[in-house]
Structure 1
Amino acid sequence: MSDLENWIVGSSDTLWTWLVLPLVGVLGVSFTLRSGAVQLRMLPQMIRGLTDRTPTDEAGRAQSLSAFQAFTVSAASRVGIGNIAGVGTAIAVGGPGAVAWMWLMAIFGSATGFVEATLAQLYKHRDATGFRGGPAYYIQRGLGQRWLGFVLAIVLIVAAPFAVNMLQSFTIVETVTSSVTGGAPAWVGPAVASLVAIATAAVVLGGTHRIAVVTETLVPAMAVLYLVLGVVIVALHVDAIGPVLGSILHDAVTGQAVAGGAIGTVILTGVQRGMFSNEAGFGTAPNAAASAATTHPVKQGLVQTLGVYFDTFFVCSITAFIILVTRPDLAEADPGIALTHDAIVGSLGSWAGALLSVIVFMLAFSTILGLYFYGEANVEFMTRRAWALWLYRVLVVGAVLVGGIVSASVVWSLADLLLGVLAVVNLLALAPLSRHAFALLKDFSAQRRAGRDPVFTRDRLPGLRGVEVWEDERTVTGLAPRDDAQAPPTR
């Protein structure tokens, strides 16, 4: 590695080990206790929230994205290559025990996901096409620090829609070319990269609503396809399920890391890869959460909490079981997507490799769209000039094209470092602002106990500053005002 890459890798490791992960752990436990374990006790409400009615404007049109569309946009970025390659790396480095720490990270991290999504809803901005928001917005409006929100917006844009999307494009090209028997001709890579860039342009130039329409179709399709593939493989090795579960739980607290090192390596690998996958605390998913039209901020907070579970307990777990039931001996295992690929092909035959290529394309392309969406919200935070948004779109499409052609290992390391910086800024902002999320949760629960479908207006939290929307009940719901006696029963 070059001196620059060595510095980036060293800085990233230090940042994650001594700042990001301790912050994630402390805040995750704190938020769980202060919310009364909202991520566990309100699971039924999370599921119901996916089909919640979308408030309309005076013309009868949806005010913004629906709760389900916002969920699929965030899931598009969460459920990506990390669910295949990242889990493979975690197991190859940390062993089966890393999976248990991924699960634990999801449980406590989902409380952080609830807080950041709820705050994104509270401090969202209304524009001509719907709602926008995210960490940059709640840092400016909740903390009164626009400069810090500006810094976060820049880091997010460089890290997610540029650096990470280059990696997604590279993975698509690499997967396609490696699946060609006898080796792919030299023109195949650039051709695939060009097609991915064209497809990206066709979607993103249509705006956020087109992205939502594509993701609400693509995300369920890719998830079902991959889960079915995984269930088939696990069913073929049903006798191994018990021993695999035992090794996951046993090695989580007693095992040695496969790649060397003590239990600390197992914990660090599992927690870090878990956070990379489900994004709880990163400050990325709140950009999607803010775009939803809903009647109470907590509703979308709960829906996004479900997104953390969906990513980790379904998609990541099926990858872990695919690997562990087919390869109990992880000695000399290749980290990354190769481990998952070999497990699938070894169980089902070479045709399954082609199917995995299709799944990888769907995962990576959906991630490109989701991360583009996040970047657009932050471009609009910094400036409302139309030319800036068009320049951003062109640059993202260009990054996707270049990323598919040029392999730069330093981009991987830079993305890790930038995402760590992003997480630190977001987590430090959540600490003082979290009290508003818990006040909203208290209001939400009180309305439910009163038999109402909860509706929030900003006068319900006196003294709250910086809130732009949530003016009155008619505006929030798209319906005429109603008193408690007329309120429909809680859903």
Structure 2
Amino acid sequence: MLDVIHSWILAISGVLYQPWFVPVFLIVGGLYFTFRCKFIQVRLFKESFKVIAEKPKSENGISSFGALMVSTASRVGTGNIIGVATAICLGGPGAIFWMWLTAFIGGATAFIESTLAQIYKKRDKDGSSYGGPAFYMQTALKQRWLGVIFSFLIIMIYAVGYNMLAAYNLQSTFAAFSFYDAGVTPKLIGLILAILFGVIVIGGAKRLVRVTAVMVPVMGVIYVLVSLLIMALNITNIPHMFAMIFKSAFDFPSIFGGFAGSCIMWGIKRGLYSNEAGMGSAPNAAAKADVSHPVKQGLVQMLSVFIDTLLICSATAFMCLSTNIDPVKYAVDGSADAAGYVQASMGDALGSFGPIFLAVAMSLFAFTTLIGNYSYCEGCLEFIIRRVPSRGELLVFRIIATAVVYIGAVASAAFVWDTADMLQGMIVVVNVPTILILGGTAVRCLNDYVKQRKEGKDPHFIAKDIGVKEDTDFWK
């Protein structure tokens, strides 16, 4: 049965990625927004740090920093480690350059989609806000059916595709240890993960989420520091490392001779998996922020893309490529032992401590990724059925989501990766054309923000000032 499903997944992915369908949407869309926003990634980069520190306007509101942490919990995870290593093994060192480029132009895309989510967000009963792409598709585009399709895809990619992948990536990390048994260990790890996940989403153990929310940023900092240590230990290899990245990135005869497996395609695929710019996921978190102007949260989410790819992903890439471990040895028959490559790179520099540290880091990243991913799903379910699900409906939904975590741990690498690639490609095809149509509203919102800043004001937004005719719950 899984073989039949897998064949369909590969067929759909072939349409999405080969030739240039999804890459064109991401690159052309990102470049378009970059120029429309006058290189906002550079121009207002410093401003994005300022708005993070602002407190919410109301008691029930979520701060910009709080919304950043929700979106970053989903973005920063196993993709920053295993996803990067997969791109290097299968696409070559040049894939890192294309990940950087995807993140840079994707920052503008993330700004547009998150600003739109803020403009068209809805007011909840307690005065807080919620929203996302489904709501700007319904309100601004007047296409509720498209919002339903988008909401369904969000549930599929996060509760199924990415959560299966997070579970698989974690269990694969333990393959470097002597106790690993391919027939037993994945099942055991899958069971433990599913139980912990179920305790949170079914049992409501929110304290565990709060603990990991504190631990993960700390682990992220430690992870970057460890990568810097490994680079320092291999400092003589640094010039050669950068030479490899840029030489491979612009080896065009090789790239266009087999584009589907090129560094460009792997850089785009794994860059999208890691930073999610253009997928419309982070806007669901962005809509919850209580800010005086939509642009403030757009800037915050732009910064989140940079944190994810330009910092965490680069840490993994530099750590691995600065060692003497050959990534080609970890690529066989179109698949990669990415966890093995990272383990070997860490072990080469740090001895037995390296694999242990990676296993601990992956355990934390994978768990918060699972919870962060799921956080997007229940709101999308409400949008689809136009009401709050009953307790029984939610229980069934949460049990299925819990079972998927276990399935991901015991499934094959090809199945989980191909499923995630297909679903993320589908959601890009729905969201990016939408924000291309509506992007002018976000650009006018940006111009309003910049104008108020130049006047020395703390920008406050009124929808009618930029010509928004649709009814908004917050910006009157």
Q: What TM-score do you get using the length of structure 1 for normalisation?
A: 0.88
SS in 2 for 1:386: coil
Greater CA deviation, 202-211 or 95-104?
A: 202-211
Question: How much has 1:226 moved relative to structure 2?
Answer: 1.2
Question: How much has 1:348 moved relative to structure 2?
Answer: 0.6
Question: How much has 1:215 moved relative to structure 2?
Answer: 5.9
Question: How much has 1:287 moved relative to structure 2?
Answer: 1.2
Instruction: Select which of 335, 341, 344 maps to 1:342.
Output: 344
Deviations 1:248-293 (A, max 9, x none): 2232213776998479822222222212211110111111111211
Instruction: Select which of 269, 272, 276 maps to 2:269.
Output: 272
Q: Which residue of 2 aligns with 1:479?
A: none
Instruction: Select which of 427, 452, 462 maps to 2:432.
Output: 427
Tell me the amino acid that sits aligned with residue 163 of structure 1.
G
State the alpha-carbon separation in 1 of the partners of residues 389 and 11 from structure 2: 39
Which stretches in structure 1 are left out of the alignment for 5+ residues? 472-491
Q: Which residue of 2 aligns with 1:386?
A: 389
Q: 1:209 to 1:469 in 2, by over 3 A?
A: farther
Indicate whether 1:462 and 2:449 are aligned: no
Question: How much has 1:46 moved relative to structure 2?
Answer: 0.9
Whether contact under 8 Å (1:83, 1:277) holds in the other structure is yes
Q: Which residue of 2 aligns with 1:80?
A: 77
Instruction: Select which of 152, 155, 160 maps to 1:154.
Output: 152
Q: Which residue of 2 aligns with 1:24?
A: 26
Q: Which residue of 2 aligns with 1:308?
A: 305
Q: 1:182 to 1:394 in 2, by over 3 A?
A: closer
Equivalent positions of 1:167-178 (< 5 A) are: 167-176=165-174, 178=175
Whether contact under 8 Å (2:110, 2:302) holds in the other structure is yes
Whether contact under 8 Å (1:225, 1:359) holds in the other structure is no
Whether contact under 8 Å (1:179, 1:354) holds in the other structure is no
Question: How much has 1:180 moved relative to structure 2?
Answer: 4.4
Q: 1:331 to 1:4 in 2, by over 3 A?
A: same
Question: How much has 1:99 moved relative to structure 2?
Answer: 1.2
Q: 1:288 to 1:344 in 2, by over 3 A?
A: same
Q: 1:401 to 1:263 in 2, by over 3 A?
A: closer
Equivalent positions of 1:306-455 (< 5 A) are: 306-327=303-324, 329-334=326-331, 335=336, 336-382=338-384, 383-387=386-390, 388-407=393-412, 409-455=414-460
State the alpha-carbon separation in 2 of the partners of residues 454 and 215 from structure 1: 34
Q: Which residue of 2 aligns with 1:134?
A: 132
State the alpha-carbon separation in 2 of the partners of residues 7 and 162 from structure 1: 16
State the alpha-carbon separation in 1 of the partners of residues 40 and 473 from structure 2: 26
Aligned length: 465
State the alpha-carbon separation in 2 of the partners of residues 188 and 263 from structure 1: 33
Q: 1:307 to 1:185 in 2, by over 3 A?
A: closer
Indicate whether 1:51 and 2:48 are aligned: no
Greater CA deviation, 138-147 or 347-356?
A: 347-356
Q: Which residue of 1 aligns with 2:64?
A: 67
Q: 1:241 to 1:392 in 2, by over 3 A?
A: same
Tell me the amino acid that sits aligned with residue 70 of structure 1.
A
State the alpha-carbon separation in 1 of the partners of residues 166 and 261 from structure 2: 30
Indicate whether 1:203 and 2:222 are aligned: no
**Identity of aligned pairs, percent?**
37
State the alpha-carbon separation in 2 of the partners of residues 185 and 15 from structure 1: 33
Tell me the amino acid that sits aligned with residue 244 of structure 1.
M
State the alpha-carbon separation in 2 of the partners of residues 211 and 49 from structure 1: 28
Question: How much has 1:358 moved relative to structure 2?
Answer: 0.8
Tell me the amino acid that sits aligned with residue 15 of structure 1.
L
Question: How much has 1:406 moved relative to structure 2?
Answer: 4.8
Question: How much has 1:466 moved relative to structure 2?
Answer: 4.1
Q: Which residue of 2 aligns with 1:229?
A: 226
Question: How much has 1:16 moved relative to structure 2?
Answer: 2.1
Superposition RMSD in Å = 2.6
SS in 2 for 1:470: coil
Whether contact under 8 Å (1:70, 1:292) holds in the other structure is yes
Deviations 1:95-154 (A, max 9, x none): 222211111111111110110111111111222453221111111111010011001111
Whether contact under 8 Å (2:408, 2:416) holds in the other structure is no
Whether contact under 8 Å (1:160, 1:375) holds in the other structure is yes
State the alpha-carbon separation in 2 of the partners of residues 215 and 259 from structure 1: 43
Which stretches in structure 2 are left out of the alignment for 5+ residues? none
State the alpha-carbon separation in 2 of the partners of residues 208 and 138 from structure 1: 32
State the alpha-carbon separation in 1 of the partners of residues 95 and 413 from structure 2: 28
Tell me the amino acid that sits aligned with residue 168 of structure 2.
F
Q: 1:297 to 1:26 in 2, by over 3 A?
A: same
Greater CA deviation, 326-335 or 223-232?
A: 326-335
Tell me the amino acid that sits aligned with residue 169 of structure 1.
A
Whether contact under 8 Å (2:95, 2:263) holds in the other structure is yes
